[in-house]
Amino acid sequence: MSLLRLSMIVVALIILIGLAWSNPTMDDYLRFVEQELGNAIDRMDQATSTREQQFIRQVFRSQSKKLLESVVRPSTTRHNWGILSQYETQVVGTNVVVLGIGGRFIPLEGVEEATLKIGRMAF
């Protein structure tokens, strides 16, 4: 086996180990969902008064953990493949699919629709 081929194998193994080590957990996923909900609230319709927007943000900040634990966590299935994970959440009639790899999340299906529906549930 040539030195170049051996070096490529070693580099590939190091990358795979790094991906396995940084594979997101369920708690990481819940923080991602919380952030997405916060972003959806920040993009709230400008027709809503400033006072109402502030109230909604305040309620979200105080109740987001309860909302995630009671709605999102029980309806989420994590498929862990070592170097990446797929999260499937069935919530408020929407199928959400998110891929977690390298400590990051890549929304594949339904994230925007679900964040809006969950955000409305909080209020």
**Predicted local distance difference test score (pLDDT) of residue 6:** 92
For residues 40 and 121, is the Cβ–Cβ distance under 8 A? no
* Per-position pLDDT tens, the chain of length 123: 799 999 999 999 999 898 889 999 999 999 998 888 777 777 766 656 677 777 777 777 777 788 788 888 999 999 999 899 999 998 778 899 999 999 999 999 887 777 666 656 555
What's the domain count of the chain?
A: 1
Q: Which residues pair with 41 in a beta bridge?
A: none
In whole angstroms, what is the distance from residue 82 CA to residue 95 CA? 23
Q: Please report whether residue 7 resides in a domain.
A: no
Q: Please report whether residue 5 resides in a domain.
A: no
**Predicted local distance difference test score (pLDDT) of residue 93:** 83
What range defines the domain where residue 31 resides? 23-121
**Predicted local distance difference test score (pLDDT) of residue 80:** 93
**Predicted local distance difference test score (pLDDT) of residue 47:** 58
